[in-house]
Amino acid sequence: CGLVNGVLITYGRLPPFISTLGMMSVARGAALLYTGGRPISGFSSGFRYLATGEILYIPVPVIIMVLVYIIAHVVLTRTKLGRYAYAIGGNEEAAVLSGVNVKLYKAMVYGLSGMLSGLAAIILTARLNSAQPIAGMMYELDAIAATVIGGTSLMGGEGRIIGTLIGALIMGVLRNGLNLLGVSSFVQQTVIGSVIIIAVLMDMALKKQRK
């Protein structure tokens, strides 16, 4: 889905926000259609090991997270794809004038995003021992909040993997804290939305100060 979305945005010239929302709706509709709206369960112990297993007393999901972090850090800081991603995010027109194949690299970034979302979905399914067609709804807000809290600018061109990791940890602590306090899921969504708005306002204020 990520790659298809990237192709629609780059080569089809669809607005990124609209295309992403559309593909999200298509994917969720396809999941509901395929499963008939019912969860699928009964996975093997080997599959569940991805979420419940341990290696040297370290949970497998933590190991996967560290490996993804290392790979993403190397890609962003040591490869052409990473450098071009920053360049395109900072000033797409300048990247085009510099000879960067913007369409190709943007599609690749969307494809990688979709692949990592799929990996997260596999781990979630293993943890729940059930493939639920509506699982992960509203997780996109958590992802946005984590990246913005971690210092990634929604205007593009800025951001680090370590910041996103810290932002994700903060979001996890916030979610767990609200659950332990018995805060309803409706209030939690209000809190997450407020966090995103505040973080974006702070990012815009910092950008103005730098100018």
Residue 211 has pLDDT above 70, yes or no: no
Locate 145 and state its tokens: 């909040």
Enumerate the H helices of the chain as residue ranges.
2-10, 16-35, 45-52, 60-78, 80-90, 92-97, 102-128, 139-149, 161-180, 185-210
**What does the pLDDT look like over 44-69, one tens digit per residue?**
898 999 999 999 999 999 999 999 99
**What does the pLDDT look like over 60-104, one tens digit per residue?**
999 999 999 999 999 999 999 999 999 998 888 999 999 999 999
Residue 57: left if φ>0, alpha if ψ -120 to 50, beta else—which one? Answer: left
Q: pTM for this structure?
A: 0.84
